[in-house]
A and B are shown apart, each in its own frame.
Chain A
């Protein structure tokens, strides 16, 4: 095969399209992370509002409940707008999945949000205030919110989903997660 400028020009867009497709899959679907929460120093979720003891120990969840960490903040419109969907998802999944809204907002800001914001007033999911460890560990330099991290009931980090909270990829993702029962959960329908 003779390699010419023509071949190069033909290959360039093809390669870009191919890698774009791979990259889009990473961003929008599941990029399986070979990181395990159990290998970190994180043993509990601290400063949790909307939760009786304000601390969720990972040891209490081990083998029982999968965790969905939704990274967001009260200043992010898209994050706040997605909360009612997560809340209804939590009610539907009850003990199989624990959804935690992870924020870097202060406790005072979260309390004010739960008291004054019309979406906040109706929320029942636990909300973590003042987080830095989980943000640094899971999101690294990416400062984009919302993003969701799924941890299965054995403490394995199994996926990171970016973008829309209520998007199809997240729901498909949940369909393939080992929940508290140790079985894969049947395909979810959009709770909306």
Chain B
């Protein structure tokens, strides 16, 4: 019986702790693929919870916040071309009265880089807003660091 008295509060703390966490419906993951000694592509993937979405990097102002990725300049690499994204869902939104482009479930952003010394660590920051039909969350900026070997 004593064990129950000990375990009950413990169980309550564990399970209530789960709900005290700040809601963040997006998980970010990273990868890199080397094309040759001079070129590589970095992949930045957002895995988005059911019923939530993030917005295109090309979302026009006046509506929801676009997703933006900022790469930190380095002597190890240079960006080659623009950041790429797949074709987003685009709809006319009645509330914003404009075209809104977004991604559901998952999206992979790609950036080609030119390697100066055959390898590099690509670092940067992701700013984004994630919304469902009722609410939005603007989490802290996400720092990334992607080794390219």
What is A's interface to B at a CB cutoff of 8 Å? Answer: 1, 3, 7-8, 11-12, 15-16, 18-20, 22-23, 27, 73, 75-81, 112, 116-119, 141-146, 163-164
- What are 10 sample pairs from A and B whose C-beta atoms fall under 8 A apart? A3-B1, A12-B11, A20-B19, A23-B19, A23-B20, A73-B136, A112-B62, A142-B22, A164-B134, A164-B135
The interface residues of chain A lying within 8 Å CB-to-CB of B136 are 73, 75-79, 144-145
Bound form: Cα–Cα A118–B98 in Å: 11
Looking at chain B's contact residues, the main secondary structure is loop
Chain B 105-136 interface residues, beta-carbon cutoff 8 Å to A: 129, 131-136
Instruction: Report if A143-B22 is in contact (Cβ < 8 Å); known contacts: A75-B63, A118-B97.
Output: yes
Interface string of B9-33 (1 = CB under 8 A from A): 0011001100110110000000000
Q: A16-B11, A78-B133, A78-B135 are in contact. List 17 more A-B contacts (CB 8 A).
A: A15-B15, A22-B16, A23-B16, A76-B129, A77-B96, A77-B131, A77-B133, A78-B134, A78-B136, A79-B135, A119-B95, A141-B22, A142-B22, A143-B139, A143-B140, A163-B135, A164-B134
Instruction: Report if A11-B4 is in contact (Cβ < 8 Å); known contacts: A75-B129, A76-B135, A78-B135.
Output: yes
Which of A7, A20, A119, A144 is close to B135, meaning CB atoms less than 8 Å apart? Answer: A144
Q: Are A117 and B64 in contact (CB-based, < 8 A)?
A: no
Query: Is B69 part of the contact surface with A, judged by Cβ < 8 Å?
Result: no
Interface residues on B, range: 20 to 34
What is B's interface to A at a CB cutoff of 8 Å? Answer: 1, 3-4, 7-8, 11-12, 15-16, 19-20, 22-23, 62-65, 93, 95-97, 129, 131-140
Of B16, B23, B134, which is in contact with the most chain A CB atoms at under 10 Å from its CB? Answer: B134
The interface residues of chain A lying within 8 Å CB-to-CB of B8 are 11, 15
Of A75, A76, A141, which is in contact with the most chain B CB atoms at under 10 Å from its CB? Answer: A75
Q: Are A11 and B7 in contact (CB-based, < 8 A)?
A: yes
Minimum CB–CB distance for B135 against chain A, Å: 5
Of B8, B131, B136, B138, which is in contact with the most chain A CB atoms at under 10 Å from its CB? Answer: B136
Q: Are A11 and B139 in contact (CB-based, < 8 A)?
A: no
Q: Are B96 and A16 in contact (CB-based, < 8 A)?
A: no
Bound form: Cα–Cα A164–B15 in Å: 25
The interface residues of chain B lying within 8 Å CB-to-CB of A163 are 134-135
Please give me the 9 A-B residue pairs with the lowest Cβ-Cβ distance, nearest first: A23-B19, A76-B136, A15-B11, A78-B134, A19-B16, A19-B15, A16-B15, A3-B3, A75-B65
